[in-house]
Amino acid sequence: MEIRLLQTFQAVVQCGSQIKAANLLQYAQSTITLHINQLEEKLGIELFERKGKQMVLTEAGRLVKEQADILLNQVDVITETAKEFSIGQKGLIRIGAIDSIGKTNLISVLTTFMKEHPQICLSIESGVTQQFSQRIITNELDIALCPPPSPELNLEFYPLYEEKLCLILPIDHPLSTQEKIHMCDLEDENFILTGQLCDYRRKIEHVFLHHGFHLHSNYNAANMEMVLNLVLQGFGIAMLPSNFVANSHQYAIRDIDDISFALPVGLIRKKNKVLSPATEKLVANIFSSC
């Protein structure tokens, strides 16, 4: 059954005559008559009694009107929802983000975006690049804010900024007051590391291995907050993103003099995938903020 037949039926009921309905819908009167006849034929009932120029609903017509009003209201809702989605005012955006994003200006970009678009639902999950990459490939995430994915995955990566890693030491550690700290000073230190898939850990291990140093670790922590707490308790030292740690009298923040630990962070998305208008709008806001 065509929606336009029900729309014509509703207009005739509202106007009380085919002539007025034709004016309302900007149809020829013959088109109104045709639509009503087609609808009655499809339903197998008479919808109106003709009383001169007036069209009066039959009992069957009143029952059909009740359901037609409900259906056409839903059509209006669907149409409006589709319109809002097409201009980026509605929709669901699924984002993966590494933990340190919460300490950058990108979190304010997300917050501002949500305030400006209250009808958009934003789903953010934490994790690491390897997890995000797989979920983007399987269309479980739209975008991710993280270090670069493996090149063989053929995902698009747009760099946003570089994340510097710094050395975190207990405040009473001998190296905390040393004028310069070199890689060789750390060879016998006990490092507190995050999980094996963590981007920061992989970067640290790669740099140490590349320069021929052994990285000693007795402790793995589930997240960076736990790493920091273990440092405070004196279980070892760590390397964490500089934007994650703040100046504190409880621990020392130092650089390694002869080596730079920096990790690019950017936006990844599936190659050639058409994102929703809402997601594209958010991506544009992210790019303009960096």
Q: What is the pLDDT of residues 161-207, one digit of tens each?
A: 999 999 999 999 999 999 999 999 998 899 999 999 999 999 999 99
Return the axis-axis angle of helices 277-289 and 106-116, rounded to nearest 10°.
140
Residue 68 to residue 62: CA distance in whole angstroms? 10
Give the domain-ending residue among 86, 117, 143. Answer: 86
Q: Which residues contact 232 (CB under 8 A, 6 or more apart)?
A: 170, 250, 251
Same domain, 283 and 201: no
Token code pair at residue 48:
């109106």
Q: Give residue-wise pLDDT tens across range 117-169.
A: 998 999 999 999 999 999 999 999 999 999 999 999 999 999 999 999 999 99
Q: Which residues contact 46 (CB under 8 A, 6 or more apart)?
A: 40, 58, 60, 61
Same domain, 177 and 256: yes
Of 55, 47, 49, the residue nearest 29 (C-alpha): 55
Q: How many domains does the chain have?
A: 3
Q: Which domain holds residue 26?
A: 3-86
What percent of the chain has pLDDT above 70? 99
Output the domain CATH number for residue 276.
Answer: 3.40.190.10
User: Strand runs (DSSP E) across 210-261, as ranges?
Assistant: 216-220, 238-241, 251-254
Rg, the chain, Cα only: 32
Q: Residues 57-81: what's their mean pLDDT? A: 87
> What pTM was computed for the model?
0.72
What percent of the chain has pLDDT above 90? 65
Quote the pLDDT of residue 286: 96
Same domain, 258 and 171: yes
- Integer angstrom CA distances of residue 78 from 67, 71, 85, 120: 17, 11, 10, 16
- Indicate the helix (H) or strand (E) that contains 53: none
CA angle 254, 147, 226 (to 5 degrees): 50
Could you count the other beta carbons within 10 Å of the beta carbon of residue 166?
19
Same domain, 112 and 147: yes
Same domain, 252 and 280: no
Same domain, 20 and 139: no
Question: Would residue 161 be called left, alpha or beta, if left means φ above 0 and alpha means ψ between -120 and 50 degrees?
Answer: beta
Confidence of residue 282 (pLDDT cuts 50, 70, 90): very high
Residue 88 has pLDDT above 70, yes or no: no
Quote the pLDDT of residue 157: 98
Same domain, 184 and 153: no
Same domain, 75 and 155: no
Same domain, 12 and 137: no
Q: Give residue-wise pLDDT tens across range 7-59.
A: 999 999 888 888 888 888 999 999 989 999 998 899 999 999 887 777 889 99
The strand pair at 143-146 and 216-220 is best described as: unpaired
Same domain, 76 and 47: yes
Same domain, 173 and 244: yes
Give the domain-ending residue among 59, 86, 113. Answer: 86
Same domain, 173 and 252: yes
Compare 150 and 102 and report the one with higher pLDDT.
150
The DSSP output letter for 140 is: S
Residue 87 has pLDDT above 70, yes or no: no
Token code pair at residue 173:
């550690």
Averaged pLDDT of the chain: 91
Give the domain-ending residue among 52, 86, 120. Answer: 86
The residue assigned the tokens 């052994």 is 214
Output the domain CATH number for residue 7.
Answer: 1.10.10.10
Which range of 186-190, 257-261, 267-271 scores highest in mean pLDDT? It is 267-271
Quote the pLDDT of residue 159: 97
Residue 112 has pLDDT above 80, yes or no: yes
